[in-house]
């Protein structure tokens, strides 16, 4: 039924990453185009004010996923973050938790409670999109389990590490050539997280250059497609 409706009554389906495109392909839907997530176009107002007073800082966006992970996996996730962040806190001035939901605040608190260097970490909560982006813009690097903070980091050319729990994250990473800097969430352990963090640090300059090359191309392609779509709709108004 989905195939019939989309092929017969919809002129064009825009999907935000290639993994979703494969799902449509399997359904037999042909009239689709792969673009980037629209968040990659949205750019916050630049502000001189920020709760992060200096660089470099390590940003962390963990996620509370009670229905995705077992209790044992949650424990490994918390311990892996706490141990790795303790190590990073000895090298950088500050670790900043940037939760994107109330549930994620709880996970931030759980990780901080297990850190030996928790005095070098803080949780910043904001409902302002502009302030949230200004915080990410000031980071040295970002460790995130949520997708949209990774998109915000990418459009500001901030290297990041993704912990993956959904196919849409994989799709976005494939679009920007950053799949190598990710971990499936069920495989989150101290060793795996430390290894991937070190990989990001060692490839830091290359990652920034890659983002500066790939992100504008995705933005241009998405803008062009959206403009064509809007013009197409206006013909029938």
Model pLDDT, residue 49: 54
**Among 235, 63, 43, residue whose Cα is nearest residue 153:** 43
Is the pLDDT at 29 greater than 80, yes or no?
A: no
Strands 182-184 and 141-144, bridge-based pairing: unpaired
Ramachandran region of residue 24, left (φ > 0), alpha (ψ -120 to 50) or beta?
Answer: alpha
**Among 193, 159, 189, 190, residue whose Cα is nearest residue 176:** 159
Give residue-wise pLDDT tens across range 134-144: 899 989 999 99
Tokens coding 74: 């949650």
Q: Which residue intervals of the chain are DSSP H helices?
A: 2-9, 18-27, 71-89, 102-113, 129-137, 147-155, 167-176, 190-202, 204-234
Rounded Cα–Cα distance for residues 179 and 172 (Å): 9
Backbone angles phi, psi at 37, to 5 degrees: -60, 135
**Domain boundaries defined on the chain:** 1-35, 57-208
Model pLDDT, residue 17: 73
- What is the residue-averaged pLDDT of the chain? 86
Model pLDDT, residue 51: 55
Greatest alpha-carbon pair distance for the chain in Å reads 62
CA 180 vs. chain centroid, Å, equals: 14
CA angle 37, 41, 45 (to 5 degrees): 135
CA 3 vs. chain centroid, Å, equals: 30
Rounded Cα–Cα distance for residues 156 and 215 (Å): 9
Rounded Cα–Cα distance for residues 107 and 189 (Å): 16
Average pLDDT over residues 197-219: 96
**How many beta carbons lie within 10 A of that of residue 68, not counting itself?**
13
CB 58, CB 121: distance < 8 Å: no
Least confident stretch, 12-16, 27-31, 39-43, 45-49 = 45-49
- Match 């790939």 to its residue by tokens: 214
- Axis-axis angle for helices 167-176, 204-234 (nearest 10): 110
Give residue-wise pLDDT tens across range 139-164: 999 999 999 999 999 999 999 999 99
Which CATH code is given to the segment(s) 57-208? 3.40.50.2000
CB 107, CB 62: distance < 8 Å: yes
């Amino acid at each position: 039924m989905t195939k019939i409706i989309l092929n017969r009554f919809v002129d064009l389906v825009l999907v935000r990453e290639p993994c979703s495109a494969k799902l449509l392909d399997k359904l037999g839907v042909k009239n689709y185009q792969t673009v980037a997530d629209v968040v990659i176009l949205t750019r916050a107002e630049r502000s001189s004010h920020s709760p992060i007073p200096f660089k470099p800082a390590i940003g962390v966006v963990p996620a509370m996923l009670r229905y995705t992970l077992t209790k044992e996996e949650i424990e490994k996730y918390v311990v892996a973050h706490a141990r790795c962040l303790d190590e990073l806190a000895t090298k950088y001035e500050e670790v900043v938790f940037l939760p994107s939901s109330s549930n994620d605040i709880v996970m931030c608190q759980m990780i901080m409670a297990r850190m030996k260097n928790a005095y070098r970490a803080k949780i910043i909560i904001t409902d302002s999109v502009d302030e949230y982006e200004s915080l990410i813009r000031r980071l040295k690097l970002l460790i995130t389990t949520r997708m949209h903070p990774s998109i915000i980091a990418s459009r500001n050319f901030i290297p990041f590490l993704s912990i993956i729990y959904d196919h849409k994250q994989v799709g976005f990473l494939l679009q920007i050539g950053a799949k190598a800097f990710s971990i499936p969430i069920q495989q989150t352990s101290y060793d795996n997280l430390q290894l991937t963090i070190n990989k990001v640090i060692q490839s830091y300059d290359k990652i920034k250059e890659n983002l500066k090359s790939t992100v504008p191309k995705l933005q241009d392609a998405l803008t062009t497609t959206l403009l064509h779509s809007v013009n197409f709709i206006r013909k029938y108004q």
